[in-house]
Structure 1
């Protein structure tokens, strides 16, 4: 089993709260993680029909069969169970009695916040990170990594094919999550929308343009985006802006939580195809941005990640918040260094010097070097983890 970096966070929170709720996409390793951390806990999987019926029809009997401490999987199947969890927490007044997992936040956001307010800590788990793979002795070339993605199943045994896995994953997601929500009445159009969205990863979200291509209203597009975000299929990166100027673009960008899933939707199934595809650069950016998200989640930190873009064409791919200031990064898929990679960084830092915590650098896919004409570069597979700890992986003094 691949060790997950979020483990110390969960152990700490289990000592501070009666329950810990783990949200994350399907098959990202929530159950495996919970069972490995607490093998002595009872385990109830609400995807199982009989277990679900018991929880719905006789919740008191449910807790006789699955006594505390207990792992309750896929709570979105029976959200009403949380009301009894609240009562039992208040009666028992013990820490670390429940691990609750969920892959769909649409039904749960209000329920968890109302029923378990102050009683549960919420953590987000995403698929494996580059650092977690590296610690397990797994390292891939850029194009193979983009095709394979980061779902744990693909790395549990050799020879598993990403295209077969993601085909099944898409069917599971649509059948279990989207169909159950009831907000999607035309699955064929929703699948077309999902594919169009994959072609726009790393780009500004334009609901009106998408609605014209899919043939539904922009309101529906907004609703579908909310479903995807709540299901942890996509991540919305918000822009950073200040009140000093009105020249900042305030439209968010879209990324897929697993780049392999986005590649599958685009019909890219081999490294050779990836290398030739015009969207490879955006998929590489997708991978690196999600590495930053994973690093924040795995460290139990707030999600202070942004991008910058103004109407004059100045853009910085990623801004990482650090104590109310920013570390800027440019992301380049190329294998060759170029001083042009740092132009936007330099312009941004000179424009907002008081908002910069560290000067950041460029993440790219060529050979690693420490400096190039006064600027920092690093390969995405360097031994130093990306975006971790309080210090950035590399800094530059201009």
Structure 2
């Protein structure tokens, strides 16, 4: 089986040389275990999903950790939160960088425990499915539509699994397993309807009351269910950038998915050709571009500062990226034909934020600057 190197590798090795612990979170099957083993093949590997390892760690955390020293990978460590306090004590005693690699597929559980016990001792990275740039040359995905339908999960590429086989099974496994573990969802059928409704509104303003009315559940449950999707790296909220530019700004978030293959499966999209006439074509391209930019930041070890912007007069920018206090406004269009009105929202935003940079990313072929705005095609993202 081929191994495809991950762009986050250099940052991970650098952090491991400076911190006693490196924590890697990300979606289930995003490649965390394989990456950790490849990063330090000399480390002892312990899978805490195995009952015997988990029971030992829970019943006698100190003895468990003393049994595994001098370089250890603790996989799915959120199963045994009791370990974190002991890890703090042991790493403080030895003060040696690069002792442990921790992995977990539930972001909230891992991060919550780490912030309480391991602050200042642990470096954290998020490993998402493959970015476009991480796919090797022999995998030919010529169009953005093909990349969108195939998604980025490593196993799908390593075993050449059809997206129509991989993603429905991934979603079903997620719903049956992770949702029950993270939250006591009694009606899994209704939760799946929520997931499909959310997919149908990708890239739109998230309105809790609409979901509440359609599913017959209260708004508190809607918010809890979305939090479950965020916790397990299925979906995420893109917040509004609401600094006041002398206009009333919308503050509700938009929702996107961490993988477009999962999203397409939920929408019933089976082939790249289906996107040509699909109602969500523009939103899917938008989701893909945002993901690629997010992965680039995460693979460099940065926390993405990403937003959208819309005011009460319907002036809008699809994406704002903030870097060292400087904003870049980005408009995203799935059209292969350039139109000058694509720049309308960017021009308006630059009037109220003149120090910002502006980019248009679209599905056509132009790569040039017009009126101070950089126009880029997706292939050169």
User: TM-score, normalised to structure 2's length?
Assistant: 0.95
1:378 partner SS: strand
Q: Is the 8 A contact 2:320 2:329 kept in 1?
A: yes
2:53 aligns to what?
51
**1:133 partnered with 2:146:** no
Q: Is the 8 A contact 1:19 1:120 kept in 2?
A: yes
Alignment of 1:69-218 (within 5 A): 69-133=71-135, 138-158=140-160, 160-218=161-219
Aligned equivalents of 2:275 and 2:50: distance in 1? Answer: 38
Deviations 1:125-160 (A, max 9, x none): 1111111125675433122111111111121133x1
Q: Is the 8 A contact 2:149 2:269 kept in 1?
A: yes
Decide which moves more: 102-111 or 23-32. 102-111
Aligned equivalents of 1:176 and 1:44: distance in 2? Answer: 21
1:396 aligns to what?
none
Question: In 2 relative to 1, CA 337–373 (structure 1 residues): closer, same or farther, beyond 3 Å?
Answer: farther
Q: Is the 8 A contact 1:130 1:381 kept in 2?
A: no
**1:377 partnered with 2:365:** no
Show structure 1 runs of 4+ deviating over 4 A: 134-138, 371-375
Aligned equivalents of 2:361 and 2:296: distance in 1? Answer: 15
Aligned equivalents of 2:226 and 2:113: distance in 1? Answer: 21
Alignment of 1:293-304 (within 5 A): 293-304=294-305
1:226 aligns to what?
227
Aligned equivalents of 1:368 and 1:71: distance in 2? Answer: 46
1:381 partner SS: helix
Alignment of 1:16-35 (within 5 A): 16-35=18-37
Aligned equivalents of 1:320 and 1:170: distance in 2? Answer: 30
Aligned equivalents of 2:181 and 2:169: distance in 1? Answer: 18
Q: Is the 8 A contact 1:339 1:373 kept in 2?
A: no
Counterpart selection for 1:68 from 58, 67, 70: 70
Q: Is the 8 A contact 1:133 1:139 kept in 2?
A: no
Instruction: Give ranges in structure 2 of 5+ residues lacking alignment.
Output: none
Count of matched residue pairs: 379
Report deviation, 1:251: 0.7
Deviations 1:246-288 (A, max 9, x none): 5111111100000110110111111122222111110110011
Alignment of 1:257-268 (within 5 A): 257-268=258-269
1:289 aligns to what?
290
Report deviation, 1:381: 1.2
Q: Is the 8 A contact 1:106 1:227 kept in 2?
A: no
1:353 partner SS: coil
Instruction: Give ranges in structure 1 of 5+ residues lacking alignment.
Output: 387-398
Deviations 1:62-106 (A, max 9, x none): 335533310111111112122222222122211100110111123
Aligned equivalents of 2:215 and 2:142: distance in 1? Answer: 35
Deviations 1:1-41 (A, max 9, x none): 22211111111111111001111110111111111110000
Q: Is the 8 A contact 1:2 1:136 kept in 2?
A: no
2:326 aligns to what?
325
Report deviation, 1:57: 2.4
Aligned equivalents of 2:325 and 2:370: distance in 1? Answer: 29
